[in-house]
Structure formats: C-alpha cells, structure tokens
Amino acid sequence: MRAESIAKYCLDLIIPVFLILLAEFLIFLGHPSQAMLIHALNLIILALSSIYIDNKIYPALMLMPLFRLLNVAMPVFFNLTLYTYSFVYAPMFIPMYFLLKDGYIGRCQAGFTFKGFWYYLPLAVSVGFALGWGEYNVIHPQLLTPGTHIKDVLILIVTMIFFVGFVEEFIFRSSLQTVLVERLGPKTGLLTASIIFGFMHSGYQIPLELLYVSFAGVIFGLLFWLTKSLPIISLAHGVTNISLFLITPEEPGLLIYLIAAPALIFMLYAYVLKRHSDITGQ
C-alpha cells in the first residue's frame, strides 16, 4: 500500500477509532476522568478535521465521543434512572439532524423507511427479546421501573424504543456502519462497528458484556443489512432493553412465548410470501 494511502487511513479512521476504544477501555478500568479527556481531544480533532477535509467518516465518528461526553456531563434530574434516559439521549437528535441535513448520510442510507416494516416486525421482536434475555444473564440488572404499573411500563417502552433504540441505532448502524462498510467492505465494516458498539458499554466493567454487546451489534447490523430499515432495528434494540430491564427480571417465564410466537409468525409470513411468489412467478 502506498504511503499516501496509509496516511489517509491513519488520519480519518485508525487514529480516531483507536482513541474511542482507548477512552472506553479507560472507563472499563475505572479511570473516567482520563477517558473524558481523550474523548474531548478526539472530538476536537475530528471537528477541526471536518472543517478542512471533506470526509463523511469524521461526522459519523464524532457522534460517539459526543454521546459519551453528553452522557457524563448531563445533570441528574431524577433519582430513578429510567427518567434520566430522555435527557441523555434527546440532545443527540441535534447532531443526527445535521448529519442528514448536510448530506453526510442520506435518508435512504440511514434507513428512514417503513418499507417491509410489518413483514420484519415479528423478527425484530423475537430477536429483541432473545438478545435481552441473553444480556440479562451477563449483567443481571435490577428492574428499571419502580413497579409494573401500566404508566411505568409505557414510559419504559417509549424511552427504550424512541430514545435509546432510535439514537443508538442511528449512531452505530445508520451512520457508523454505513460509512465503515463503504470504506472497509461489508464484513470488516460490520465487525468494526459492532466492536465499537460493544466497547461503548464499558461502564458495566464486565468483560463478557463487551463481548456480548459486540455480538448483539453484529445481529443488529445484519438485521439492518437485511431490512435497510432504521425503524425495524430501533424496535429490535428497544425490545432488547425492555426484555433486559423489565420482562426477564420480572416475568422470565413469558420469554419463551415472547420469543417463539413472533418467530413463528415471521416464518409463516416468509412461507406464504414464497408460495405466492412461486405461484405468480414474481
């Protein structure tokens, strides 16, 4: 590889990705102050670079240190963790909007479509409940709601799908995975985005959690590749967290039905559509 190509890769990909992973590793080791300095430095470098160099990788990578810094800097308004999610995630809609407005990510690339939504909805629900059950067995979190009252459950559902699921999937799949796949190819791009996604869960300080969430990132990435739909993967991600923080700790016996029933519906959909295609020749 020519020296110019190596320099280009180091400038717009290897160095900022390394800094993101290094900062998250420091959080994993219990050094958040040093980690925030690295994230801030990385964000400044990427912001300045994007001014002088037209490269859509920079804005995509900027979302991660920005998200982490907002996460840490956001004041605590409520004692209940669930109610703080919207304040942490809502500000991220602003840079996400500008990425779309300025054309760094196209609406089609980002997956802003409901095409095939009802077809893939059962698959997204089944995958979400299964991944949530798996993650629960890694980190064993407590129930995130103060109870199982309908109001608390609805707040959890809205928060996890429309804030956590939508924002994280836009950052890691619509934006990061898209630009990495264009640069590195489908397999390497998907795997790299998934590893970064896993490392961004370093706050749990559990090695197996980083591996499991990286695996979940691959699943979400494949689902995005299959559906090209941000609503579908936002739903899958949201259901994963609903399974993790509500269903599994409170009603684990329901999971077999919540996983199996949507999976069977999806397979029935697929079979019927295949039969229809065979009959019509389309």
Q: pLDDT (tens digit, 9 = 90+) per residue, 52-84?
A: 888 889 999 999 999 999 998 887 666 677 888
HSE toward the beta carbon, residue 93, CA cutoff 13 A: 10
Looking at the fold, whether 83 and 205 belong to one and the same domain comes out as: yes
Looking at the fold, whether 43 and 93 belong to one and the same domain comes out as: no
Looking at the fold, whether 110 and 206 belong to one and the same domain comes out as: yes
**Average pLDDT rounded to a whole number, residues 251-255:** 94
Count of structural domains within the chain: 2
Looking at the fold, whether 184 and 118 belong to one and the same domain comes out as: yes
Residue-wise pLDDT for 120-168, tens only, equals: 999 999 999 999 999 999 999 989 888 788 998 999 999 999 999 999 9
Q: 73, 106, 134: which is the final residue of a domain?
A: 73
Looking at the fold, whether 205 and 67 belong to one and the same domain comes out as: no
**Average pLDDT rounded to a whole number, residues 9-20:** 82
Query: The domain containing residue 113 runs over which residues?
Result: 77-280
Closest CA to 57 of 142, 218, 180: 180
Instruction: Please tell me the predicted confidence (pLDDT) of residue 2.
Output: 47
Q: How confident is the model at residue 6 (pLDDT cuts 50, 70, 90)?
A: very low
Q: 27, 48, 73: which is the final residue of a domain?
A: 73
Q: 73, 98, 129: which is the final residue of a domain?
A: 73
pTM for the predicted model, two decimal places? 0.93
Looking at the fold, whether 87 and 217 belong to one and the same domain comes out as: yes
Looking at the fold, whether 59 and 105 belong to one and the same domain comes out as: no
Looking at the fold, whether 109 and 181 belong to one and the same domain comes out as: yes
Looking at the fold, whether 236 and 127 belong to one and the same domain comes out as: yes
Looking at the fold, whether 67 and 145 belong to one and the same domain comes out as: no
**Average pLDDT rounded to a whole number, residues 23-51:** 95
User: Which percentage of the chain shows pLDDT scores above 90?
Assistant: 76
Looking at the fold, whether 174 and 239 belong to one and the same domain comes out as: yes
**Average pLDDT of the residues of the chain:** 91
Residues of 44-62 as b/e, b for ≥16 C-beta within 10 angstroms? ebbeebbeeeebbbbbbbb
Closest CA to 172 of 128, 230, 91: 230
Looking at the fold, whether 43 and 88 belong to one and the same domain comes out as: no
Residues near 255 by beta carbon (within 8 Å), at least 6 away in sequence: 129, 133, 243, 247, 248
